[in-house]
Structure 1
Amino acid sequence: MSTYTLNAQVREVAGKGASRRLRRLNDSIPAVVYGANEDPQSLTIDHDELLHLTEDSQFFSSIINIAVDGKEVRTIIKDLQRHPSRPVLLHADFQRVVDGQTISVKVPVRFENEAASPASKAGGKVFTLVNVVTVLCKPENLPEYVTVDLTNAELGQNLYLSDIATPEGVEVAALRLGKDHNQAVARVVAKRK
């Protein structure tokens, strides 16, 4: 599990106009930290520092230590608002995490051993339907990603959420809802001629 550190300042002024001024004049963005039975805290984060961290795909499934007034708060990112047409971040939401309490996090799905599968040898290709899945775990068990092993994948086969290999203490959230929620994550198809 990777951890990242992000510097922040307490934001005193709230509202749409204050947030616009913050983005335009200070090259910063507004953010909120909530959860863990504490009051939400409004923060200001340097835009470029956060943008740089978001370029690493592991950032979204990692613990983020936010340093505020000399004190670090352990969080995960829950929402990130982006400008629709420019590479600009607009707002970030972080959720506090407490050791021992279960959290819900979206993590990437990696498909492994495709080249070794019988489907690949027969000229097949894996068509991925899902590349991110929500997992439930404690912060200390948070994986950077989960995997689907394609070693035995055959042509025409569907792979489901139940085929995802998760580390100990990690559970795919949708599978808690029953067999009806065991959706397909990939399909092995023959290549078109």
Structure 2
Amino acid sequence: MKFVAFERKLQGTGASRRLRHAGKVPGIVYGAGEPVSIELDHNALFHALKKEAFHSSLLDMELAGATTKVLLRDYQMHPYKPQVLHVDFQRVDATTKITKKVPLHFVGEAESPAVKTDKGTVNHVITELEITCLAQQLPEFIEVDLSGLTMGHSVHVNDLKLAPHIKIVTHGKPNPVIATPVPAVVEEIVVAAAPAPEAKGKKKK
């Protein structure tokens, strides 16, 4: 994905506030050299942030006529308005090693015996994983194949088929569960007993 940024000359809270009123977003690019203050078009950035790939893949940033590989590192949103307040990018090259969260894409769920035969559902326990790799080797997502999932068994991190250059960061957990099947819920219908009819001929006092 590619986006256009412009060098930001003015600094400070007041300058950033004026930028936002003008439909711009202040930001910064750091790493592999001196930090550079930038500004971006708000609407273009707002729509880009809705795309998964903008968060988890290398981006081409065009700045002052040159294109640089960067990663989105952080952004701040307004507490209640649909407005981006600030954005951070990191420059990367062929030697940059990074640690970043990558989304999981689940496939084959409907064809799995747990769903197709046993009519169960699959609980996605983890929807993203933190990995370490060279920036140039960062995958946009990691695919999780659920087509062989059976009831009573789960898919763990160690079951994933990953390229050798990708290392998963589990923060001390030995082999976390990624997805697990859940049996179908059988609803029980309870019928309340009708009250016994009052005996005929019985007079009220």
TM norm. shorter chain > 0.5? yes
Q: What is the CA distance between 1:117 and its match in structure 2? A: 1.5
Aligned to 2:180: 187
- 1:42 paired with 2:37, answer yes
> Which one has the bigger strand percentage?
1
Task: Verify: 1:142 aligned to 2:138, yes or no.
Answer: yes
One-letter amino acid of the counterpart of residue 9, structure 2: E
Code of the residue aligned with 2:59 in structure 1: it is: I
Q: Which amino acid aligns with 1:189?
A: V
Trace 1:39-188 onto structure 2 (pairs within 5 A).
39-120=34-115, 121-174=117-170, 180-188=173-181
Q: Normalised by the size of structure 2, how large is the TM-score?
A: 0.82
Q: Quote the RMSD (CA, aligned, Å).
A: 1.8
Identity of aligned residues (%): 34
Question: What's the CA shift string for 1:101-159, capped at 9, x where partnerless?
Answer: 22222211011111221211211111112212122222332211102211221223332
Query: Pick from 22, 27, 30: which aligns with 2:26?
Result: 30
Q: Which AA in structure 2 matches 1:185?
A: I
Contact 1:107 1:146 in 2 (8 A): yes
Is the 2:26–2:38 Cα contact (8 Å) retained in structure 1? yes
Check the 8 A contact 2:58/2:136 in 1, yes or no: no
Q: Is the 8 A contact 2:93 2:136 kept in 1?
A: no
Larger radius of gyration: 2
Instruction: Tell me the distance in 2 between the aligned counterparts of 1:143 and 1:150.
Output: 20
Q: For 1:187 and 1:82, how far apart are their aligned partners in 2?
A: 34
Aligned counterparts of 2:65 and 2:90: Cα–Cα separation in 1: 19
Please state if 1:5 is matched with 2:5.
no
Counterpart position of 2:194: none
Would you say the 8 A contact 1:143–1:167 is kept in 2?
Answer: no
SS in structure 1 of the partner of residue 44 of structure 2: helix
Q: 1:168 Cα deviation (Å)?
A: 4.1
Matches of 2:99 and 2:7 in 1, distance apart? 26
Output the CA distance in 1 between the equivalents of 2:37 and 2:85. 14
Letter matched to residue 17 of structure 1? G
Instruction: Could you list the structure 1 runs, at least 4 aligned residues long, displaced by more than 4 angstroms after superposition.
Output: none
Larger helix proportion of the pair? 1
Paired residue for 2:198? none
| Structure 1 unmatched runs, 5+ | none
What TM-score, normalized by structure 1, do the two folds share?
0.87
